[in-house]
Amino acid sequence: MTLGQSNFIKLLAMVSMLIDHAGLILFPEITLFRIIGRLSFPLLAYQIGVGFSHTRSFKNYFFRLVLFGAAMQVLYIIMGKLLDFDRQPGYLNVFFTLALGLAAVYALRRKKYFLLCSILLLLPLLSIFKVTTDYGLYGIVLILMLDTLRASPLYLALGMAAVNILFVVAGDMGPIQLFSLMAIFPVLKPLSLKWRIPSCAFYLFYPIHLAILYGISMLFQF
């Protein structure tokens, strides 16, 4: 995958995330927003494997995700207090899911199978203490599958379909998650952007767009 194609996937992930969160925060009655937003996580999950292939330091990449996750967790707490909505204290945001997915990719590629099994068992064990991450075990399995099969378009499409169907039927994912299968098309046939998206763009975009949406939501309350 070229840098321009990777930038296209990042941009599409950010746009679909913006639409998804706009639906979640401002227009919860409009299901179409959430459907379009299903594109976002599979694209981010795919980029984890791409990012691992190009990173100079796995540790820096991992801890960057964890640190931004911690910062976002604080933002969620503040917004929850200001907007008076309940958010499960043990519910960790998507950056923690991406960090665990990255660790799982590292473990699988380096053949550290004990570490891989530990990561996959971590979330079920944490759930005993009512600690979960955004997308949970589904997110980590999807990241692993997209990284493992990305060299084969056919197997990638079949694998993505299998993971989504499995977690919708046997897991706790809602049927709307099946719309995430639309992400297979930009993954297999990505366009190429002529301009470069800075590596820090997504990290900045995430808190900024949420702060703006929550701010608009606060205005609607007056």
Q: Where are the domains of the chain?
A: 3-220
One-letter amino acid at 114 equals F
Look at residue 76 in the predicted model and tell me its pLDDT.
79
Look at residue 113 in the predicted model and tell me its pLDDT.
95
Confidence band of 98 (pLDDT split at 50, 70, 90): very high
Q: What is the mean pLDDT of residues 21-27?
A: 92
Among 61, 19, 65, 62, which Cα is nearest to 38's? Answer: 19
Is 130 a residue whose pLDDT tops 90? no
Q: Residue with structure tokens 């980029």?
A: 47
Look at residue 142 in the predicted model and tell me its pLDDT.
96
The C-alpha atoms of residue 121 and residue 137 are separated, in whole angstroms, by 9
One-letter amino acid at 76 equals Y
Q: Residue with structure tokens 């923690």?
A: 96
Q: What is the mean pLDDT of residues 41-54?
A: 93
Q: Residue with structure tokens 């639309």?
A: 182
Q: What is the mean pLDDT of residues 178-193?
A: 91
Is 97 a residue whose pLDDT tops 70? yes
First to last CA, the chain: 48
Confidence band of 207 (pLDDT split at 50, 70, 90): confident
Q: Residue with structure tokens 């719309």?
A: 179
The C-alpha atoms of residue 68 and residue 185 are separated, in whole angstroms, by 29
Look at residue 83 in the predicted model and tell me its pLDDT.
65
Mean pLDDT of the chain: 89
Provide the pairing of β-strand 91-92 with 132-133: parallel
Look at residue 86 in the predicted model and tell me its pLDDT.
58
The C-alpha atoms of residue 85 and residue 108 are separated, in whole angstroms, by 39
**Strand extents, DSSP E, 79-184:** 91-92, 132-133
Number of H helices, E strands in the chain: 10, 2
Token duo for residue 117: 């099994």
The C-alpha atoms of residue 130 and residue 89 are separated, in whole angstroms, by 9
